[in-house]
Structure 1
């Protein structure tokens, strides 16, 4: 619900847990890190009479109704768009990531047919068979544009089916970075998530944009690293190169799939953004597939998270919310395990050693009712936001829960001995005594389990969690005091003793919990003193 309010739709609930653990996010450049609002730049002429001739040919190789950002920028660059009315588009071949060009068959008012094309400069240059000085000059133009962050498009035409393609010129286009991209990338880094830019543009353009966004300049050409053979042709050091890279250029759809698998092979929880049909395999392979705004139905179907607004900023909100949900699940697991140990071991051992049931079947049902209502409110609890990706540490969960549970068992037996040997209660009163103690202590343990630090420190519990506990505990207390024909009542001084004992027991349990966490995370004073001693021995100058 929280994510849907931020225009992000979760299509697979399990992805919430994986998003909390995600440490690498491969992001498309165009439309995600950039605005996808292209502006027309300089036009370099080759075999065209003027710039308008190049733009006219490129416009005829476009389809305005598709609302493509490149096509719109080129068509808007025409001085007289009505001149296009003299031509009819007979056939149109749209752009695809493999061939990287569009092509159209055009017929003029006189019935003469010819063909035009636009696309990646290297593809158009090869199509026209450029060689020698023309090839060198065209490549230099493309490199100059790329050095300034401009995308380049080659344009060519063909007078007839038998005629050769003629290279008309190169058009430059600039797609500025989104205003929030640099801040989003910075925030991702602060959350322990590295963003890797993935683009079909050449290395120079990718490096220029990456520099503006603060990503770094280590941009690798995907083809030279991975190749089209997939994993079978990977070089030995491919994983290390991918790890160190800040982004990947000249990327084909199959490269995205291979990049994701490489990161996963190296133990990373990997996210991937995409919008096209060809991105679907990579989105499906990724631990967290993210379909960006305007994605195709195929990409949305393969994704775990669908964004309905442009940009990546909402992903940061999704990561934060996922980590909060993870912390709630972690707290619930610890609470549930510790309560199971506390109740099960206490009841069984009490039956063995004292030869009576410390709690009746009706009390067990009432206890489940009083405990389960507040435990549901943990879904709304305020939790600490971890700065790094989180993963399940079952050794830690079981150790902490066991320590808390054993402490609870010892406390319960202490309470039982007080009721039997000091207060001299009969069995029916002892059962009520144990019932109220388990009800009160159970919720106090819930507040203990929800945080790694002491329970009185921030973040404090959500109001709904506090009030649900207060209401159910008041109800349990009144039931213990008056019985209402369901259980045997006990006196108010005995009830006060149970409350005081339970509060002290929860405080002791909290001390045990914090001590176990600090021991397992090497944060005890002894560990810190040892680490400080080692650092001093390794870097004596820095310690002074």
Structure 2
């Protein structure tokens, strides 16, 4: 049997939404009344595969572990261990390999970003579906769906595949996870222009979206990887792993350090051999220099510093899934934020009401029924849930209720949604627009449950996409009252009068109504009109009953409102030199209004908003200019979000991308740091992101940026502190070879210094609190090195001080006739003493020691104390003397060591002050 295979969109072939229903069915060779036969469906399943997204496996645990051993500096350590083993220095070799393994284990445990985004996408497809096969409806697992199947949809269903809708009644879906638009989408079945954007394809339903009202039939036109969700999964899989600013800079830093170390080691070997030393001895010296110059503790210190940052961020409601992302936020220059659920509540909320010729503002956000209705600064309706005359009075009293009360009543009665409190949260079922009407009614003191008991529904006309109106009929003491809600352009022509403020009927003021609706629309509000009509007892609710003779009771304007804390967060980001850009799938006017309210653009300005259709016309260079200059992008599709992020990155920007939907996932993965919403976000977004906000609040990003900047500062402090020791150790070895004297310090002693001080002295810097004014600095330039010229010069200065102190004391001990073990012990303690005092210098790289609160970081004092204890042990405890070739020294030597350390500290402070005065 030859199965029909419809031509793909493109290459002159129309996309599915542009085809009439009959043509779409013909392309698949299927009859809408009978569906596919079981035999044909089985053959197509064999051809196209199951309706399940492909999942690519991540790296194995072994691969991740071996990856820790391929860093350049680690390879030098491994080479040094091999050389020392070849020379018979088994203890030294064992210690070197021990350091390598410890670093690898730490890196292995801390790494491990799970590549589960595609698995989460697979879970987004419905598991059960009603399908038409052999002329009969049957329930089956959605994994068995094939192109050409006819499926049935009803309220509450998750769409199981991409569908070309072919018939139905009042079908509405919520597609926020795919398109970014919070409001439900009304569906129809007529063909659309070929260039219609994804979010506007009203004759399509897409896998993973949800049906909230009505019912319908759809032709399966794409399953598994061929769905829009599958296409997004391909974008995620194709997005490369982006190296964070920290990993990029540390890779450059390690590469430079590697060549310096190898150069010095080679120079040491050549000079020694030229002076007549044996090659074996010079190989030991070269290894000693390499081991001394390599900051062995840096990888572990970096991982632990970042891990401390992870813990700090978790307390501020930001969960880090990938360690280097901790620092990435501190480097961020641009935040690209989704609107729905990130900058906004992701809950339709009534914010304005026009009734009786008066405008009311509504406070409160989301589905929590707390807030007030205000008129010109005065409370118009008490927030307490009392029904007043609307329930306890007579039918006549009810008819004469205020226009505002009647507007709230109409919205609550002409409504199929439900609002309930569960698990400490207010939740809804049904249409979010209708739920917003229930919430505002409760803010006005009207409870829908009580209303339905007092005014029971007798009949209804469900919402119809053609008339764009819903109506319900209620019994009121022997009379019938119709309440209707719908689009103002549909409902207004059916009205003969309107309610005045006191509830009496007045002539319809069309101009005032249209002006109020237009004003609401400019603020990005979705406007609904509400009307009523009294019928005679026994009259039925018909289309004719609501097509004329209605009385307009009011207008409501609703929007997915901005989060209150997002306004301050955006302001702080701007003060920190970080641009915030909104990239959303919602409508342009809504995006512009929200951007103005939050402060992304100036409120009231005619800010430029580019839509997905605008972006599609831009080449790469024009897109770069648009990405740089425009701050609001609307009606944007997933690959366009991805393209915008890449355009910003191509200009050297460090990009953070926030989002919560399936449509955000590719851009989340492509960004330097992807930030997903933990409460309202999809699993897809969470798995593609490097960071998850547990409170779904954009303001948490501000706190995370502050933490990220502080963490980077602490890493630079650690590097500035640790490098002089390595530099000084290398200089001591080189100086000894040039001078033709015995090495003042052995490779094993060097490892002791590097590893103990890195843990006890270096790591406490990770606990340094953020310095004042950290959020008033501009972002670090993306191309800036880890250490600037000032800090490099300081590293050289401190390294020279260590060289002078340690080498000088070693030579002095020899002149006094002290043993080689004593001389080397003195030299080793000089290094540690200078490191201890330099640690306090490094608590601030710009300010003097006295400007830093002495006990703001008690870990510094604890680490210095423990380091002194260890130095006493290696100097005076026999087992350590034997293992490390050290020996006890006298008090005079300790006095000289202390004096050298204090002199070094004073010189460093003078250099700081000189820099400050020069700056």
Q: Does the Cα contact within 8 Å between 1:404 and 1:509 map onto a contact in 2?
A: no
Residues 147 and 464 of structure 1, relative CA distance in 2, 3 Å threshold = same
CA drift of 1:197 comes to 3.6
| Structure 2 CA distance for aligned equivalents of residues 53 and 467 of structure 1 | 68
1:152 aligns with 2:547: no
Residue 505 of structure 1 corresponds to 904
Residue 866 of structure 2 corresponds to 471
SS at match of 1:396: coil
| Structure 1 CA distance for aligned equivalents of residues 635 and 513 of structure 2 | 18
| Structure 2 CA distance for aligned equivalents of residues 262 and 139 of structure 1 | 42
SS at match of 1:313: helix
Residue 408 of structure 1 corresponds to 799
1:389 aligns with 2:764: no
Residue 659 of structure 2 corresponds to 274
Residues 27 and 143 of structure 1, relative CA distance in 2, 3 Å threshold = farther
Q: Does the Cα contact within 8 Å between 1:7 and 1:309 map onto a contact in 2?
A: yes
1:178 aligns with 2:569: no
1:328 is matched with which residue: 699, 714, 727? 714
Q: Does the Cα contact within 8 Å between 2:348 and 2:558 map onto a contact in 1?
A: no
| Structure 1 CA distance for aligned equivalents of residues 852 and 529 of structure 2 | 58
2:750 is matched with which residue: 364, 380, 388? 364
1:376 aligns with 2:775: no
| Structure 1 CA distance for aligned equivalents of residues 645 and 618 of structure 2 | 16
SS at match of 1:389: coil
Residue 337 of structure 2 corresponds to 27
Q: Does the Cα contact within 8 Å between 1:75 and 1:81 map onto a contact in 2?
A: no
Q: Does the Cα contact within 8 Å between 1:21 and 1:389 map onto a contact in 2?
A: yes
Residue 311 of structure 1 corresponds to 697
| Structure 1 CA distance for aligned equivalents of residues 848 and 589 of structure 2 | 53
1:100-499 correspondence to structure 2 within 5 Å: 143-148=518-523, 150-152=525-527, 172-199=557-584, 202-215=587-600, 216-217=602-603, 220=607, 222=609, 225=610, 227-228=612-613, 233-234=618-619, 238-292=623-677, 293-360=679-746, 362-374=748-760, 375-384=762-771, 386=774, 387-390=777-780, 391=782, 393-394=784-785, 396-397=787-788, 400-401=791-792, 403-405=794-796, 407-421=798-812, 423=816, 425-460=818-853, 462-477=857-872, 479-480=874-875, 485-486=881-882, 487-499=886-898
Residues 176 and 233 of structure 1, relative CA distance in 2, 3 Å threshold = closer
Residues 208 and 372 of structure 1, relative CA distance in 2, 3 Å threshold = closer
Q: Kindly provide the CA deviation profile for residues 277-311 of structure 1, in whole angstroms up to 9, marking residues without a partner as x.
A: 22222222222222223111112112222112142
**Greater radius of gyration (CA):** 2
SS at match of 2:557: strand
1:73 aligns with 2:436: yes
CA drift of 1:37 comes to 5.8
Residues 456 and 140 of structure 1, relative CA distance in 2, 3 Å threshold = same
| Structure 2 CA distance for aligned equivalents of residues 107 and 211 of structure 1 | 38
Residues 336 and 196 of structure 1, relative CA distance in 2, 3 Å threshold = same
Residues 87 and 415 of structure 1, relative CA distance in 2, 3 Å threshold = same
CA drift of 1:43 comes to 7.6
TM-score with structure 2 setting the length: 0.45
Residue 4 of structure 1 corresponds to 314
| Structure 2 CA distance for aligned equivalents of residues 69 and 430 of structure 1 | 80
The count of residues paired between Structure 1 and Structure 2 equals 480
CA drift of 1:57 comes to 11
Q: Does the Cα contact within 8 Å between 1:341 and 1:405 map onto a contact in 2?
A: yes
SS at match of 2:653: coil
| Structure 2 CA distance for aligned equivalents of residues 433 and 40 of structure 1 | 75
Q: Kindly provide the CA deviation profile for residues 321-356 of structure 1, in whole angstroms up to 9, marking residues without a partner as x.
A: 111111122222233332221112212322441421
CA drift of 1:506 comes to 3.2
| Structure 2 CA distance for aligned equivalents of residues 381 and 428 of structure 1 | 37
| Structure 2 CA distance for aligned equivalents of residues 341 and 470 of structure 1 | 24
CA drift of 1:11 comes to 1.7
| Structure 2 CA distance for aligned equivalents of residues 434 and 426 of structure 1 | 12
CA drift of 1:454 comes to 4.3
| Structure 2 CA distance for aligned equivalents of residues 454 and 405 of structure 1 | 19
Q: Does the Cα contact within 8 Å between 2:330 and 2:708 map onto a contact in 1?
A: yes
| Structure 2 CA distance for aligned equivalents of residues 180 and 371 of structure 1 | 43
Farther off after superposition, 225-234 or 330-339:
225-234
Residues 92 and 336 of structure 1, relative CA distance in 2, 3 Å threshold = farther
Q: Kindly provide the CA deviation profile for residues 8-37 of structure 1, in whole angstroms up to 9, marking residues without a partner as x.
A: 211222222221111222334444434446
Q: Does the Cα contact within 8 Å between 2:342 and 2:698 map onto a contact in 1?
A: yes
CA drift of 1:38 comes to 0.6
Residues 137 and 304 of structure 1, relative CA distance in 2, 3 Å threshold = farther
| Structure 1 CA distance for aligned equivalents of residues 903 and 770 of structure 2 | 24
| Structure 2 CA distance for aligned equivalents of residues 241 and 348 of structure 1 | 55
Question: Unpaired segments of 5 or more residues in structure 1?
Answer: 45-49, 94-100, 109-115, 126-135, 161-167, 529-544
CA drift of 1:392 comes to 6.7
| Structure 2 CA distance for aligned equivalents of residues 154 and 249 of structure 1 | 26
1:86-105 correspondence to structure 2 within 5 Å: none
| Structure 1 CA distance for aligned equivalents of residues 908 and 902 of structure 2 | 10
Residues 149 and 395 of structure 1, relative CA distance in 2, 3 Å threshold = closer
Question: Unpaired segments of 5 or more residues in structure 2?
Answer: 1-310, 356-405, 420-427, 474-483, 492-510, 531-541, 544-551
Residue 123 of structure 2 corresponds to none
TM-score with structure 1 setting the length: 0.72
Residues 118 and 357 of structure 1, relative CA distance in 2, 3 Å threshold = farther
Q: Does the Cα contact within 8 Å between 1:408 and 1:509 map onto a contact in 2?
A: no
Residue 499 of structure 2 corresponds to none
Whichever structure has more helix as a proportion of its residues is: 1
Residue 218 of structure 2 corresponds to none
Residue 254 of structure 2 corresponds to none
